[in-house]
Structure 1
Amino acid sequence: MTTELMMVIAQENLKAHIEKEKEKEALKDLINPLQVWIASASAPACYHLIPILTSGEVFGMHTEISITLFDNKRAEERLEALVTETRELASPVLRSVSICTKVEEAFRQAHVVIVLDDSTDQEVHSLEDCLRSRAPLCRLYGYLLENNAHDSVRVIVGGKTFVNLKTVLLMRYAPSIAHNIIAVALGVEGEAKALLARKLKTTPAYIKDVIIWGNISGNNYVDLRKTRVYKYESAIWGPPQYSHPVLNLIFDSEWLKKESVAILRNLTATGKQFRGILAAHSISTTMKYWYHGSPPGEIVSLGVLSEGQFGIPEGIVFSMPVKFENGTWVVLTDLKDIEINEKIMTRMTSDLIQEKLVALGEVIDFQPYKSGNLLDVMFYWAAIKTVLKHLL
């Protein structure tokens, strides 16, 4: 074969290769990646969240994603550094990563929106100021979600301050997608499992069905009546699916009623642990369940809009037991023996109703529920101090 003929064949091969690559790109563009937006992306949790999202664990190894980091202009340098690190992960499911600091462009064609803890430019000096400062941002986000996001967008709200309130405000200002907005409660659930595991000298992953009721980042109730521990070393053994009720293994009633409650409330009030890793894991696990279903037979805690289940007042976002299946969740209203004491219910719902009314300007002063319990009073003031410290 002459050199001239080889050159002709080479040119033909190159042309065929280029055409084939163009066809591949055209087909690729037809399969749009999942558009994932992270709001308040300069928050510490985002740094831990991105590697999980790009691992393929959440949406699946066959689902390509594009991540957009949304925050204000002041955070641009930090976001650029985050973009560089994300690209260096060389994830097979990551199509692109970019930043957005222009409010009007936020949530453009978003399929998934993750709302992290945000800061506010407003000056706040009281709890009422903190509550009222949530409304303008949620109103803005609601407007952007309604106008820019995909019709089937899924919104997941996480963080350590006013999680229930932010969720119900987003529902109010984005009514067409309200059914697709949820609040993450798995962080509090994880803290409770870890505390129980330390007490029982076992692994937190072996503890299932802890129910978190109420205000995720405030007055809540950790319900252990359905909680079970698997693979527990005791006189009675069974197959892997065999479990013991946790309440049958902890004989220290004083610890259950007071010490454990005080520890968990302190964690909620200070937000000491719910910052980076725990927040990221809780959000990503909830999202994975939303897309692929929760483990069969397992109870999951989730903040959703109350429709009167369990005697909870309608119109507030309340953490309650659910299961995920077929791309949505179902509230487990058929669980037996989980009626909530009226006093506990009043304590939880009273503050949530007050938060919402103050944030919307319908009530001027926040009047917290006072049970006369010293622990409740201590929790209330610790929570206020933490919120103010976080926002000032």
Structure 2
Amino acid sequence: MAKFVLAGRTDCPFYAKAELLADALQRSLPNFKTRKISILPDEWKDWLEATCQRQGWKHDKSPLVWRELVDEGGSCMLLGGFSDFLEHSQDYYGITSDMPTDMMLSVAAENLEIKMNLIKEEQHRASLIKALHIWISGALSSACHLLIPNLLTAEVFPHTTAISLHLLDVEGDEEELQGLRMETEDLALPLLHQVTIHTDLEQAFQEADVILLLDEWCSGGNDTEEEKKKKVKEMSERYIEYGQLIDMRAKKEVKVIVTGSSFVSLRCSLLVKKAHVIDSNQFVAMATQLENEARAILSNKLKVRASDIKDVIVWGNISGSFYIDLQRAKVFNYNGAIKGPSFFCQSVLNIFHDRFVTTKMISVTDLQHGPAISTANGILTVLKAWNGNCSPDDIFSLGVVCPGYCDLPDGIILSVPVTFTQGKWSVLFDVTVGNELKERLHLSASKVQQVCQVTKTSGDVATICCAHLDVLFSQKRFQRY
């Protein structure tokens, strides 16, 4: 089966002539298929340059015709312009085009008018739909693929009727993003209004209501010191730019969640430093995956399900020195000396006699990305709570700005216990913070603050970050003991 793609400037007479020829071929040949791409005049040059650069072609005029060797999105073979298309049609199919010049000009003008009317209609329809705009960076990550089907639901966004999903991956392949877009559309999710893809920051975070940052900068085990410094510098520069763009383009009530397994607290702190208009309470870093892993360890020791463990607290630097606190933790369905109905719970500390569990960690330098399932689940958990789908008594570990709490400095993101009420989080003060924990929190805060300060003043963050790289890349996971 022959499948040709015609792309051209909407007001181009030769594009109109190529359309007429393609229609004639399609009527005459049952296995001849065409796809038409009409580009507005002021967008044509940039579109043509980007397409030719991506495909490795050389072409400088309208129309552009190529053949797809398989279905849409597959390998492509350049045919050329209108003359090449006409010659191919005559040689292979014996069909030509005899459209006179005045008709070419008339059809071209009609094409432009129809295109402009369609754009106006689409803009009008879009204005009638009050869609929630969700931006996901690092969209080609495994976590994003797992997240999307469960994200666009009424359970996560209970008061939303439509969602516009924007998939951003600055270093990603556009064809892969197109594939993800089509897969997402194929899900036919009731709340999904539209999906857009982005490989640059030109439109990033425009009108954003929710921003989920999944970017990772994990170091490989064989990276040299210079390679590590380069990754840290790239990460810092990227998040400084993210913070500025969010400040300029996102809605003032935007919810921003930073997640991953590297520099989580630091990345979120950099955003807060650069976003001056948006309330710092709208930026959070996710520690849910650490909390859930601690629950899994405890459940193994207590011979219960992980879901039977509640209210474990994670303190500190999420991807650095963090600490697990069991002072509020409770367990359900524990098979011990005291038993009760399913709603009966016992304090974990009454079973374990340690008030603090200092985590033992192992090296995972071979891990290139954070655990995708845990990351996706953590994002959904936080969003549900943030959108009011939780009990006010539920305790969450969340990286937030908490100035004055234990005399911590302003603008630094650390994991602390919080609760959610009516779509807002608040730090839980009804917990005991001893001198040992306070010292550890201040040490974590000082390291993050030091990096942020250097970034703010000189922009050269690599050297000071790399002083902590060995700790970061060797202390990632709980030891399952």
TM-score, normalised to structure 2's length? Answer: 0.65
For residue 204 of structure 1, the aligned residue among 283, 306, 319 is 306
**Partner amino acid, structure 2, of 1:300:** F
Distance 1:271 1:223, change over 3 A: farther
Aligned-pair identity in percent equals: 34
Q: Which residue of 2 aligns with 1:175?
A: 276
CA gap 1:55/1:293 in 2 versus in 1, 3 angstroms: closer
| C-alpha separation in 2, matches of 1:268 and 1:185 | 18
Equivalent residue for 1:236, pick from 310, 316, 338: 338
The structure that has the greater radius of gyration is 2
User: Residue by residue, what CA displacement relative to the aligned partner does 1:180-228 show, whole Å, maximum 9, x if unpaired?
Assistant: 1111111111111111111111111111111111111111111111111
Q: Residue 152 of structure 2 corresponds to which residue in structure 1?
A: 54
Return 5+ residue gaps in structure 1 as ranges: 1-24, 370-378, 388-392
Corresponding residue for residue 143 of structure 1: 244
Does structure 1 residue 159 correspond to structure 2 residue 260? yes
Whole-angstrom CA distance in 1 between matches of 2:368 and 2:336: 33
Would the aligned equivalents of 1:61 and 1:93 in 2 still touch at CA under 8 Å? no
Greater Cα offset, 187-196 or 231-240: 231-240
1:216 to 2:312 alignment:
no
Q: Which residue of 2 aligns with 1:302?
A: 398
Instruction: Give the whole-Å Cα distance in 2 for the aligned partners of 1:364 and 1:46.
Output: 28
Say what the alpha-carbon RMSD is for the aligned residues. 3.2
Alpha-carbon distance in 1 for matches of 2:422, 2:378: 20
Separation in 2, partners of 1:96, 1:385: 41
Q: Is the 8 A contact 2:236 2:461 kept in 1?
A: no
2:215 is aligned with 1:117: yes
8 A Cα contact 2:364 2:473, kept in partner: no
- 8 Å Cα contact 1:188-1:268 kept in structure 2: no
Is 1:133 equivalent to 2:234 in the alignment?
Answer: yes
Secondary structure of the residue that 1:329 maps to in structure 2? strand
AA in 2 matched with 1:232: Y
Change (3 A) 1:56 1:275: same
Matched to 2:395, the amino acid is I
Bigger drift between 147-156 and 233-242 goes to: 233-242
Q: Matched residues in 2 for 1:62 and 1:47: separation?
A: 22
Q: In the alignment, is the contact (CA less than 8 A) between 1:40 and 1:70 conserved in 2? A: yes
Give the Cα separation in 2 of the matches to 1:93 and 1:339: 47
Report the counterpart of residue 383 of structure 1 in structure 2. Answer: 472
In structure 1, what is the Cα distance between the partners aligned to 2:357 and 2:474? 25
> 2:362 aligns to what SS in structure 1?
helix
- State how far apart, in whole Å, the 2-side matches of 1:193 and 1:272 are: 24
Q: Describe the shift of the 1:273–1:43 C-alpha distance in structure 2 as closer, same or farther (beyond 3 A).
A: closer
Displacement of 1:350 in angstroms is 3.5
Give the Å deviation of 1:130.
Answer: 4.1
Partner secondary structure for residue 334 of structure 2: coil
Aligned to 2:424: 328
1:75 to 173, 186, 209: 173
Note the residue ranges of structure 2 that are not aligned, 5 or more in a row: 1-122, 219-223, 477-481
Q: Which has the higher contact order (CA 8 A, sep 6+)?
A: 1
Query: How many pairs align?
Result: 346
Shift of 1:385: 6.0
CA change 1:273–1:247 in 2 (3 A) is farther
Contact 2:217–2:232 (CA under 8 A) maintained in structure 1:
no
Q: Please tell me whether the aligned partners of residues 211 and 224 of structure 1 are also in contact (alpha carbons under 8 angstroms).
A: yes
1:195 aligns with 2:290: no
CA deviation string 1:293-329 (max 9, x = no partner): 5323121111111302023233311110111111111
Quick one: which amino acid aligns to residue 239 of structure 1?
P
In structure 2, C-alpha distance between the alignment counterparts of 1:196 and 1:273, rounded to whole Å: 25
**Which AA in structure 2 matches 1:167?**
C
The 2-side partners of 1:189 and 1:205 are apart by 12
Q: Match for residue 349 of structure 2? A: 247
Instruction: Name the CA shift for 1:29/1:231 in 2 (closer, same or farther; >3 Å).
Output: farther
**Letter of the 2:284 counterpart:** I
Q: Does 1:338 align with 2:440?
A: no
TM-score, normalization: structure 1? 0.78
Cα distance change, pair 316–233 in 1 and its aligned pair in 2 (3 A): same
* Distance in 2, Cα, partners of 1:248 & 1:26: 62
What CA deviation, in whole Å up to 9, does each residue of 1:146-168 have, x standing for no partner? 22222321111111111111111
CA contact (8 A) 2:230 2:462 kept: no
The DSSP-based 3-state class of the residue aligned with 1:233 is: coil
Partner of 1:17 in structure 2? none
**1:380, distance to aligned residue in structure 2 (A):** 6.7
Closer, same or farther: CA 236–119 of 1 in aligned 2, 3 Å = closer
Q: CA shift at 1:30, angstroms?
A: 2.5
Q: Does 1:186 align with 2:284?
A: no
Aligned-pair distance for 1:383?
2.5
C-alpha distance in 2 between matches for 1:95 and 1:41: 18
> SS where residue 292 of structure 1 aligns?
coil
Q: CA separation of 1:230/1:54 partners in 2, compared to 1, >3 Å: closer, same or farther?
A: same
Matches of 1:189 and 1:208, distance apart in 2 = 10
The 10-residue stretch of structure 1 (83-92 or 339-348) with the greater mean CA deviation from structure 2: 339-348
Distance 1:115 1:273 in 2: 14
SS of equivalent to 2:403: coil
